[in-house]
Structure 1
Amino acid sequence: MSRPALGRGGRFYICALAVSLSAVGLAASAGVAHALDENWALQFGPTSGGGGSDPATERQALKELERNPPPGFPTLAAANVAATKTAIERYTAIVEAGGWKAVPDATVKPGEDHFAVVELRDRLIVSGELGADKAGGENLDGTLVEALKVYQTNNGLTPNGRLDKPTVAALNVTAEDRLTQLKANLKRLTELTAVVKPQRKYVVVNIPAAQVEAVALNKVITRHTGVVGKVDRPTPLLRSTITELNFNPTWRLPPTVITKDLIPQGQEMQAKGENVLVKTGIEAYSNGKKVDPEKVDWNSSAPKSYSYRQPPGKDNPLGFVKINFASGESVYMHDSPSSGLFGSNFRAASSGCIRVHNIERLAYWLVAQNDGWEQDRVEEMKKTGERKDVRLATPVPLHFVYITAWATEDGAIQFRRDLYNRDGVAEIATSY
């Protein structure tokens, strides 16, 4: 089943409409913090993912699950409408029966005993991940661990089989709020599935899930972990068509990144006797002429009038390919030289664009109908750094959607964080 995810994370990389140049964190609320490290400093070049308290082998396996989710079912499959209606009936019955009790805030590892496990068992019995005959004990045993992994998978959480803060927060979203989400998303699904042509290939970015689906003949051909817009710089909803790929592109900094990230960081570094343009390799231009980076006064008004760009290369935040489509918000999809966030559970860290893990697979799928574009040619573009723009022989429909609750034809009911607070539910449903 599909397993989109969002959770704690943070790796800096100057990125088009992506990661802030300033040392900022992601929002934390309802006592469940998913923030960037407070001492997060400006870093240049690729960085690795964050750590944790788990053994290295387990941690790496979970990161791989985040980076490489299974294909699962299409989010916009027509069958999901009927399945979601059935889920609404089920959750209506749960609400009418009194919903579920809150699970105590506790951290419990597999095999451990804790009084909170009793409530966890009851909670999973109500929502259906655990059989009704499994009530009782305080031990987080193997059967309960597997049921908890199913719950975590269906709620966009890393399936570690542990009771932890994000899992407790998700469990404690009320049945009433989950029902509200299902009803809100049924309307979205009904509208979206009416415009999707399942017999054709198309791409879907589900923003709350932070995942990208390449779909053909109503099957997910490849699913990709993505990085989406932060709460204060949300990725927009859109319907468009992918028309072009830029291999090894130049990054032209958009106005938002210039004013909110580059200039403030330039001022901060200038006060320390450093130069942000020299550090990053970004070039400033005034009336088409390159500006000497050493002569830029970041405290003057002049930097606001400049245009900025970064040439192709290993430090270019667009990576080796940028995917273009018409957008009034000037957003796009692209590669990233920094892979750390792709292994994190929370991936709302951009300024609106979508970074895509394993984008070479998506790029090949998009250009496969172009003459001469075999998979090895795409891989060669990544190796050589050759600069090239490629128009697609057949443009591919693209949908940026906001789906936080849905059911699939196998009966699984999926929930994701209401990342941008659009479902009208309690804050806890937005922040776990």
Structure 2
Amino acid sequence: MEMVGKMSKKSGIVALSRRALLTGAAAAGAAAIAGQAAAQTAIDELITAPRRGNWDDQFDAKASRTTAAVTSNTPMLSANNFIYMQQAITEYQTIVANGGWPQVNPSVKLKIGAVDPSVQQLRQRLMISGDLPRSAGMSNSFDSYVDGAVKRFQARHGLPQDGVLGEFTLKALNVPADTRLMQLNVNQQRLQEIMNKQLERRYVVVNIPAAYVEAVEDDRVALRNTAIVGSITRPSPTLDSKIHEVILNPYWTAPRSIVQKDIMPLMRKDPTYLSRNAIRLIDGNGNEVAPETIDWNAEKAPDLMFRQDPGKINAMSSTKLNFHNAHAVYMHDTPQQGLFNKLMRFESSGCVRVQNVRDLVVWLLKNTPGWSRQEIERVIATRVNTPIALTDEVGVHWVYISAWSSKDNIVQFRDDIYAIDGNAQLALQANIGVETSAGSVEDDILPQ
């Protein structure tokens, strides 16, 4: 792929057949060297035994254990990536002109060890998109090369890298090439609009469809964190601002919409809900009001502040990142760390929850005197609400980029979760129930 990338820079267009030939030749050479090195091993004897069944392709155990790196320390919003995006569009135009790629319709669940005629369709599909070298050949066997190629494909599409053709992997494989080309063109326009802005030397970017956060300094990714972003019915907005404040052990104040839609029904079912979750009612004079004095069956919620004390069960847990914006959204920690392991991380009411947020806090405060990692951890342990003004404000940009490309012609796609790219096939998860039910988590989602 590196050789193809260099030729793309020189000529602007690379013929599909020539690109595949070069990629296949490189992979074949690597496979030959690996085969010589392993020739005397017990595993090689086992693989080459007469009774090995239908494993009639080359086998490289290493390919089954590793996935080609598709991540980069080049920021997604780097100006260099706009050039790679143009190259990707040219290549996908060639793919479309040559007839695209086949649909994969297996009769069995495809994973390593499977034998099915549809594996030939899968091999062809992965070869055309550059995930599988031509030297892997054509057969009905799902061998380790196909396993490695599927994992690479999954990594490029933000899917779990398990090498199994599950529901979303199969759906992503069967998005037609011309639809992917359209997605690249739509996102190139979005990138162009962003490139027209002056990005800061230090900034944080939230890519909503990818559900991750990048901390960028001098055009290099310093941190990349998994995120939870807004659901389909409560989407996260795109915005540009500056992070001016970090709050350790924040209070959580429930927005009026959450109080009306979620807390009122919860209190009707369980009058102890507020006290169990350390949520206090505060009037306009700063006085606490007893929940027992409120009519929870009333049509409208009381005109009071619903404020949760700092602590482990606080909806924002240890940290809140503040920046001025018209949407009243922010970034924060969460007590529900298990949510970051989910494929569909579109569960908030618009705010963004950040995994390993303390690493991001250390990076944000590195130019603010007196706030080492040790001091940050000490203050968090006290459970005392502590606002910290940043000495130098850090840019923050929430963007909606569902397709992009980086060096080595690594083209990335993500689910168009908010269905704004222009084709229903790109919103693979849109029909799945990702809206969090009432009473599940923070402001974003309520504590239980």
With the shorter chain as reference, the TM-score category is: 0.7 to 0.9
- Counterpart of 2:348 in structure 1 is 350
Give the aligned residue type for 1:235: S
Assess if the C-alpha contact under 8 Å between 1:251 and 1:310 holds in 2. yes
Secondary structure class of the residue paired with 1:403: coil
Give the aligned residue type for 2:369: D
Structure-2 separation of matches of 1:117 and 1:295: 67
Q: For residues 102-145 of structure 1, what are the alpha-carbon distances to aligned partners after superposition, in whole Å with 9 as ceiling and x for unaligned?
A: 11155323222233322211110111111223342222211111
Match status 1:125 vs 2:149: no
Give the aligned residue type for 1:362: L
How far 1:261 sits from its partner (Å)?
1.9
Match status 1:299 vs 2:300: no
Identify which of 278, 282, 296 aligns with 1:281.
278
Assess if the C-alpha contact under 8 Å between 1:76 and 1:196 holds in 2. no
- Counterpart of 2:83 in structure 1 is 82
Assess if the C-alpha contact under 8 Å between 1:71 and 1:222 holds in 2. no
- Counterpart of 2:262 in structure 1 is 261
Assess if the C-alpha contact under 8 Å between 2:206 and 2:397 holds in 1. yes
Going from structure 1 to structure 2, the CA distance change for 1:426 and 1:152 (only over 3 Å counts) comes to same
Assess if the C-alpha contact under 8 Å between 1:71 and 1:223 holds in 2. no
Structure-1 separation of matches of 2:111 and 2:390: 49
Structure-2 separation of matches of 1:308 and 1:287: 12
Equivalent residue runs for 1:25-424 within 5 Å: 72-104=73-105, 106-197=108-199, 200-267=201-268, 269-270=269-270, 274-288=271-285, 289-301=287-299, 303-424=301-422
Assess if the C-alpha contact under 8 Å between 1:319 and 1:336 holds in 2. yes
Give the aligned residue type for 1:203: V
Secondary structure class of the residue paired with 2:214: strand
How far 1:196 sits from its partner (Å)?
4.0
How far 1:73 sits from its partner (Å)?
2.6
Structure-2 separation of matches of 1:135 and 1:256: 58
Q: For residues 402-427 of structure 1, what are the alpha-carbon distances to aligned partners after superposition, in whole Å with 9 as ceiling and x for unaligned?
A: 00011102210010011111110123
Q: For residues 30-59 of structure 1, what are the alpha-carbon distances to aligned partners after superposition, in whole Å with 9 as ceiling and x for unaligned?
A: xxxxxxxxxxxxxxxxxxxxxxxxxxxxxx
Going from structure 1 to structure 2, the CA distance change for 1:114 and 1:183 (only over 3 Å counts) comes to same
Assess if the C-alpha contact under 8 Å between 2:213 and 2:224 holds in 1. yes
Going from structure 1 to structure 2, the CA distance change for 1:419 and 1:263 (only over 3 Å counts) comes to same
Q: Which has the higher helix share?
A: 2
Structure-1 separation of matches of 2:159 and 2:314: 31
Give the TM-score normalised by the residue count of structure 1. Answer: 0.79
- Counterpart of 2:38 in structure 1 is none
Structure-2 separation of matches of 1:119 and 1:290: 66
Structure-2 separation of matches of 1:96 and 1:260: 51
Identity %: 38
Assess if the C-alpha contact under 8 Å between 1:296 and 1:303 holds in 2. no
Going from structure 1 to structure 2, the CA distance change for 1:283 and 1:71 (only over 3 Å counts) comes to farther
Give the aligned residue type for 2:277: T
Paired positions, count: 360
Assess if the C-alpha contact under 8 Å between 1:169 and 1:428 holds in 2. no
- Following TM superposition, the consecutive aligned residue runs of length 4 or more in structure 1 with deviations greater than 6 angstroms are none
Give the aligned residue type for 1:258: V
Structure-1 separation of matches of 2:369 and 2:135: 59
How far 1:71 sits from its partner (Å)?
6.0
Structure-2 separation of matches of 1:132 and 1:377: 55
Assess if the C-alpha contact under 8 Å between 1:201 and 1:396 holds in 2. yes
Going from structure 1 to structure 2, the CA distance change for 1:276 and 1:197 (only over 3 Å counts) comes to same
Assess if the C-alpha contact under 8 Å between 2:175 and 2:425 holds in 1. no
- Counterpart of 2:444 in structure 1 is none
Root-mean-square deviation over aligned CA pairs: 1.9
How far 1:320 sits from its partner (Å)?
0.8
Give the aligned residue type for 1:119: Q
Give the aligned residue type for 1:146: G
How far 1:367 sits from its partner (Å)?
0.7
Give the aligned residue type for 1:282: I
Q: For residues 261-283 of structure 1, what are the alpha-carbon distances to aligned partners after superposition, in whole Å with 9 as ceiling and x for unaligned?
A: 2223333x14xxx4321332212
Give the aligned residue type for 2:243: I
Secondary structure class of the residue paired with 2:409: coil
Structure-2 separation of matches of 1:212 and 1:381: 24
How far 1:70 sits from its partner (Å)?
6.3
Assess if the C-alpha contact under 8 Å between 2:96 and 2:177 holds in 1. yes
Structure-1 separation of matches of 2:403 and 2:351: 23
Give the TM-score normalised by the residue count of structure 2. Answer: 0.77
Q: For residues 283-336 of structure 1, what are the alpha-carbon distances to aligned partners after superposition, in whole Å with 9 as ceiling and x for unaligned?
A: 223434322223333211352423211010110011111000001110000011
Give the aligned residue type for 1:303: A
Q: For residues 15-38 of structure 1, what are the alpha-carbon distances to aligned partners after superposition, in whole Å with 9 as ceiling and x for unaligned?
A: xxxxxxxxxxxxxxxxxxxxxxxx
Assess if the C-alpha contact under 8 Å between 1:277 and 1:283 holds in 2. yes
Assess if the C-alpha contact under 8 Å between 2:267 and 2:273 holds in 1. yes
Going from structure 1 to structure 2, the CA distance change for 1:93 and 1:82 (only over 3 Å counts) comes to same
- Bigger Cα Rg: 2
Structure-2 separation of matches of 1:184 and 1:196: 21
Assess if the C-alpha contact under 8 Å between 2:171 and 2:428 holds in 1. no
How far 1:347 sits from its partner (Å)?
0.3
Give the aligned residue type for 1:291: V
